[in-house]
Structure 1
Amino acid sequence: MEAVDLETKRAGDNQLHDLEKAAGDEVVSGGDAKRPRKGNDGYHAMELDDEDEEEVGPHECFEMYRKEWILMYGKNDAASFYKPTGLRPMRHTDGPLLPSFAIHMDAMEVFFVKVARLTGGLQWPLDVYGDVADSLLELTGPSRAVVLLDEPIFEIDLKVKCEGSSSSSEDKVLCLDYFGYNNIAYHGTSSYAITEEVSSESCAMEFRFTHLKRCVEATITAHITSESGSFSARFTARTTSIGEDVVLLDSQGREVAVAEDGEVMLQRHVVVVEEQGELVLGMEAMLLGGDAAESTGVSQKLSYYARSALRSIAYFEIGSIRIKMLVAWSLLH
């Protein structure tokens, strides 16, 4: 997930190194789920109380974490822990007037989640929700901007299907854990990226995300507006302040799925951009099924300046195929 010209808001390489180090110090393990208490005092106390007891494993820790979240925020409804948010994107895209409570806010962007190392005798490919042939896991969310009000929590619950097993009870735990990012402790004015690693008995997971300052939400859709055809493609999005890509879709050489109405079926739609920032969409594509001359790959980029509302449109072209890239802008609250 890589490069374009950077117009960074950071002072330089040394300052960036310091920022990343500080950010790493602010990532905490434990705490109330999804909305942790400041300082995570409850979980530290719980761990100390149990020191003289039998050692608590990852299953027990995750279950305590889940139950406390359900008790505090889920109204004792166990299913609420797994329910997606009911809030949708594009809440303030269309006027005629924007509400006074809709503003620019700090937000999180997740670049990737990957299995950095395998241990415990596991080898590639893994059968995790279908075959995972390499370390990078495909992300399909979030469905709206992740606003940094309370401290966000990452939850990891991955299992590997063991060869010859006939039931889920025989699956091997790849990683079962959670960690939080203490955004409240960061008072800087620059956006910055963070890498966090979580280790288990079977693997080490790597998470790459960023804290973006004073953002708007950008919801991206793609539609074919001219004659259709088969093509493979990789669509990406990035801000010029952080030189890393969010992968919207990577067909990995296979034909891109297109709906009957011409919509390109992106896996991710929502990103965030600083209020004075610039969104850059990228496409690397190749026509399929034609002669060698038509199979030449194309690489294109589109730039959009951030807006507080309404929509921006630009076009990619692959041979005779024209793809409308529409960005719907919205303030946050």
Structure 2
Amino acid sequence: MRFTSGPIPRHARPECTMNIYYIRVYGLEDGLQWPLHVHGLVAARDSADHNRNFLFNRTRDNCQILTQEDPHLLLTGPCRAVVIIDPITIEFQLKVRSRTEPEEDELLAFRIFNYPQTYLSKHVIQSSILCKRCMIEFAYAPLVPSVEATVSIEVIDGVWPEHIRGRVIACITTVSEGEMLLLDSRDGMMPISPSTRIIELSRRVVSVDLKGGKLLVSVAPSQIGEVDNNNDDDFVRGESVFEPKRAGKSHNMCDLGFCKIEVTVTWSLLSNLTDEWRAGLKRTDKR
């Protein structure tokens, strides 16, 4: 949300970006067995600032349990759009927690990959990554040119009942058969701040094609314990469609029956270190 409001510098513009759809662990080897208590990190580095942009980041005391039926990492990022100006580096450092001592934690995946693709993809690309003790499926789609969209959802009327779970999904209309999971409360209560009434999403940032693309945000409630909430006819599925903007905010209200929610999308252009460096030189020369 760097360039949402106020004076927007000339070097901020739509850029080639990458949406990450999911990361799945499969093909266990070398004695590993389900379930896995996984901790560690998955991060992306790009030329926007060269820092780690975490997609997954858990400590040993906050492991995610992966099962053969549900082997997907619960992504918490990226925290900003992943820019494909130069090749993107994806870093995996994942471990399986030992039942006894930390020193006995087992390595699950330790790899670094570069993704140079900058072309427009109309479908989700699934890359299989061979690691020493497992396979990792990394699903993504490059977009050009695109803007950053940050999603926020607030309960504005009524109450979200404790016995109702929820899933929040984002889709880009120009990419077929791809969903980005922003939140899955699973068999727990929806994480709603009591002070702000904002639903605390696991991840909030996606990219949207500026020309021809639209962002679809779906909120799907269901009874806690339901295996497939798409087959639950007792609840209304809230859907909001947003046209991308270069800056500013977009709002849409959804009536779920038991409560009303407002979906807000904050738009921003993008920049990289090279353009910011050049802009800094120009300001210095003028002085």
Q: CA deviation at 1:287?
A: 5.8
Change (3 A) 1:189 1:174: closer
Question: Of the candidates 187, 206, 225, which is equivalent to residue 156 of structure 2?
Answer: 225
Partner of 2:244: 306
Q: Residue 314 of structure 1 contacts residue 324 of structure 1 at CA under 8 Å; is this kept in 2?
A: yes
Does 1:94 pair with 2:5?
A: yes
2:25 to 96, 115, 132: 115
2:197 equivalent to 1:265: no
Query: Segments of 4+ in structure 1 off by > 6 A?
Result: none
Residue equivalent to 2:175? 242
Q: How many residues align?
A: 234
Distance 1:258 1:113 in 2: 26
1:11 match: none
CA displacement at 1:300 relative to structure 2? 2.9
Q: Who is 2:96 aligned against?
A: 160
Of structures 1 and 2, the larger Rg is shown by 1
- In structure 2, the gaps of 5 or more residues are 40-62, 225-231, 272-287
Q: Which deviations, in whole Å up to 9, do the C-alpha atoms of 1:239-297 show, x marking residues without a partner?
A: 10112111100112321111021010100111000112100111210366xxxxx9923
Distance 1:179 1:267, change over 3 A: same
Distance in 2 separating the partners of 1:220 and 1:121? 41
Counterpart selection for 1:181 from 106, 115, 123? 115
Could you report, residue by residue, the CA deviation over 1:24-64 in whole angstroms, capped at 9, with x for unpaired residues? Answer: xxxxxxxxxxxxxxxxxxxxxxxxxxxxxxxxxxxxxxxxx
Deviations 1:132-190 (A, max 9, x none): 23211100001001111121111111111233x22x2211111111111013xx4x455
Conservation of the 8 A alpha-carbon contact between 2:120 and 2:142: no
Deviation string 1:168-213 (CA, Å, 9 cap, x unpaired) is 2211111111111013xx4x45555322112223211110011101
Q: Secondary structure at the match of 2:179?
A: strand
The CA distance in 1 between the partners of 2:22 and 2:169, in whole Å, is: 12
Q: Aligned partners of 1:229 and 1:270: how far apart in 2? A: 24
How far apart, in 1, do the equivalents of 2:143 and 2:233 lie? 38
The answer for the alignment partner of 1:325 in structure 2 is: 263
Do the aligned residues in 2 keep the contact of 1:153 with 1:179 (CA within 8 Å)?
Answer: yes
More helix by share: 1
Q: Which runs of 5+ in 1 are unaligned?
A: 1-89, 289-293
Correspondent of 2:80 among 144, 160, 163: 144
Corresponding residue of 1:201: 132
Identity of aligned residues (%): 30
Q: 2:106 — aligned with what? A: 172
Distance 1:247 1:119 in 2: 28
* Partners of 1:316 and 1:286 in 2: CA distance: 16
1:126 aligns with 2:36: yes
Query: Does the 8 Å CA contact 1:233/1:253 hold for their aligned counterparts?
Result: no
* 2:5 partner amino acid: D
Q: Normalising to structure 2: TM-score of the pair?
A: 0.76
